A and B are shown apart, each in its own frame.
Chain A
Amino acid sequence: MIKKIKPISAKRKDVKLKTAAGTKKIEQDDRIDLVIIGAGPAGLSAAAEAAKNKLDVLLIDKNDIAGGQLYKQIHKFFGSTRHGAGQRGFEIADLLYKECTRYKVKIMLEAVCAGVFFDQGIEVSIIKNERLQQIKCKHLIISSGAKEKTMAFPGWDLPNIMGAGAVQTLVNLHRVIPGKRVLMVGSGNVGLIVSYQLIQAGMEVAGIVELGNKCSGYYVHYAKLKRLNVPFYFSHTVKEAEGNDGVEQVTIVRVTERGRYVPETEKKIPADLICLAIGLKPQSELCQVAGCKMYYNVRLNQVIPVYNDEMETTINNIYVAGDASGAEEASIAMEQGKLAAISIAAKSGKVNKRLRNKYKTEINKNIAQLRAYRKMFAKCRKKDIDRWRRKKGAVAVLDCNEDIPCDACRKICHRSAIKMDRDITSIPSIDLNKCRGCGLCIPYCPGLAIFVIDDTFSNDRSLVKLPYELLPVPREGKVVDAVDKNGKILCEAKVIKVDNQRKNNKTKVISIALPKRFSNSARGIKMR
């Protein structure tokens, strides 16, 4: 039966447990310790952490599979190896889900949270199987994730103009191709990653349009696309999309620094799919419904709920975690979920305060590290390896020039030749005395930015080992074209070996032999 729902007033800020006239205690038994809305990275890690600390947890998600958007992510993740850096998104989702089932978290799927009310504590309305039901709980974590922003231009409502997430869902999850030639709008990490995934699925990227004058995502993602000759249109925006039943042609135009169109710079690009990857905004309607105080965060350019250093909002016992508290990134979401779960466990007396404080400082430090990414696009390090070293044999080259929060390569090198100065945000450097060019790090780099050069291969030719994640895979003995970092063909090269071991996790390591003078600049191959 549906209970009569009390309307909540906007003024109510602080809702505490009501005891009936202070004489009768509420029966606490029928209330669940913790309800988590959203089973994404934040929700799953919060649920696992809370259940580990002996809390009774119910996890609610709209989809028929727990894992949120992680299931669409087929690229290897950055971040610390603690959060599964170097592993693909769906593998991380599987790991988190397994952890949840191990600690016996109750998971309710295909259920939509319709509202948050207050009646003897917190009451959550859930729609499941077209029926509304009320669930009472002591604590609530809202980890409802983020939604995509969109932009308006003439013709923006035509079919086949989609958000990047939608294209990812169709291509990676449902394995269907919505269009053959894609124009990507936005060169943030989402835009770059999705573009690469579409190329992997066999589609053609007609170009990447970016309003700013430089690429706003990680350099390693940009380099992956640049190697494949994908055109980038910086300081450009979409002016118009034309077509009858779907996009057929897109007009892009150059813009000034202040965002005005530059006349007579229009360019018409034929494309049958426009993919909008222009950022995310938090899906924090549930926080607003509950009456949490919201504010505009300048750093993120988003309206987010106010929360303290334990992820608690302005309303007691309601916590936020993940993208709902500011759309950032999966590793941060996982840490935030953990932090919220530990604070709740401490509040319920399952974890002592000393341990809580220890966790709190540690997690806040990790989050600060993950946020410490600084854009250093123009700065490039010296690429030439010392001559003396190259005469001795194979050596790894790291094409990683940015302070990306990632330490996958450092963890995998068993000779500890790869070093980072400070924390995981530092640029990795290679100790040439220790590196033997084994190439173990090549498939582990999520940015595909590690190569091995061996100038001692033969008298006139060098061996270059490079990562490869595309189809078709060249056969051993075939002749391919070696390309440089801009996708320019350098010379012909012979494929010596294709390494597709299981531990490489589907990233092939291809060894090519090419003339010595090109060994320093070869960064990719092109099939003939």
Chain B
Amino acid sequence: MMRIKKHPILNALPNHRTVTIYFEGRKISAFAGEPVAAALVANGIKVLKITKKFHSPRGIFCAIGRCTDCMMKVDGKSNVRICLEKVCHDMRIEREKHEKT
């Protein structure tokens, strides 16, 4: 887990409720209420989508819901900006599947 537990300025990491979410069917643990993007970064997942035309990988770019580079399929719903979407229990996150053109 790549989380900052000790920090010279910020207080110690508060005790969040840990929930389980599924990334491409893989079980990962996350904190309830944090954005999905943070949960994926904490589990070392960088590639969030593969572009439609050139099939190149994309990751988080702006993290405030402006750039749409982090759009994924969340619980069957397409094009969700995961940097704003909050984690809840049993969430299923998938990369968008594009047929080869």
Q: Which residues of A contact B (CB under 8 A)?
A: 62, 74, 88, 147-148, 150, 157-163, 165-167, 169-172, 174-178, 200-202, 245-246, 469-471, 473, 506, 508
Contacts and interface: CB of A to CB of B under 8 A. Distances in A.
B62 interface: yes
A178 B35 contact: no
Contacts of A165: 62-64
A469 B13 contact: no
Q: 4 tightest A-B contacts by CB?
A: A159-B59, A166-B63, A174-B38, A159-B46
Nearest to B40: A176
B4 A246 contact: no
Contacts of A470: 8
A175 B3 contact: yes
Interface in B47-84: 47-48, 56-66, 83
A292 B2 CA distance: 46
Contacts of B91: none
Residue of A147, A165, A178, A471 contacting most chain B CB atoms (<10 Å): A178
A17 B66 CA distance: 34
Given A200-B9, A245-B47, A246-B46, A176 B41 contact: yes
Contact of A471 (B7, B13, B63, B83): B7
Contacts of B66: 147
Residue of B13, B38, B59 contacting most chain A CB atoms (<10 Å): B59
Nearest to B51: A157
Contacts of A171: 4
Given A166-B62, A170-B63, A176-B2, A157 B38 contact: no
A147 B63 CA distance: 11
B46 A169 contact: no
Interface in B12-38: 13, 34-35, 37-38
B57 A245 contact: yes
A506 B8 CA distance: 7
B100 interface: no
A245 B47 CA distance: 6
Contact of B63 (A169, A177, A473): A169
Contact of A62 (B10, B46, B58, B65): B65
A201 B57 CA distance: 27
A175 B41 CA distance: 10
Nearest to A272: B46
A461 B42 CA distance: 47
A245 B10 contact: no
A175 B56 contact: no
Contacts of A201: 4, 7
Contacts of A160: 46, 59
B62 A200 contact: no
Given A159-B60, A170-B60, 9 more contacts: A147-B66, A158-B56, A159-B59, A162-B60, A163-B63, A176-B3, A176-B4, A200-B7, A246-B46
Contacts of B35: 174
A148 B69 CA distance: 15
A176 B16 CA distance: 14
B47 A246 contact: yes
A176 to B, nearest CB: 4
Given A159-B48, A170-B41, A174-B38, A246 B59 contact: yes
A470 B83 CA distance: 28
Contacts of A246: 46-47, 57, 59
A167 B38 CA distance: 11
Contacts of B56: 157-158
A163 B37 CA distance: 15
A200 to B, nearest CB: 5
Nearest to A88: B9
Contacts of A147: 62, 66
30 contacts: A74-B9, A158-B56, A158-B57, A159-B46, A159-B58, A159-B60, A160-B46, A162-B60, A162-B62, A163-B61, A169-B83, A170-B37, A170-B63, A172-B10, A174-B38, A176-B2, A176-B3, A176-B4, A176-B41, A177-B4, A177-B41, A200-B8, A201-B7, A245-B47, A246-B46, A246-B59, A469-B9, A470-B8, A471-B7, A508-B8
Contacts of B10: 74, 172, 175
Contacts of A508: 8
B13 A175 contact: yes
Contacts of A177: 2-4, 41
Contacts of A200: 7-9
Nearest to A64: B86
A159 B64 contact: no
Contact of A157 (B48, B58, B63): B58
A176 B35 CA distance: 11
A162 B58 CA distance: 11
A201 to B, nearest CB: 5
Nearest to A148: B62
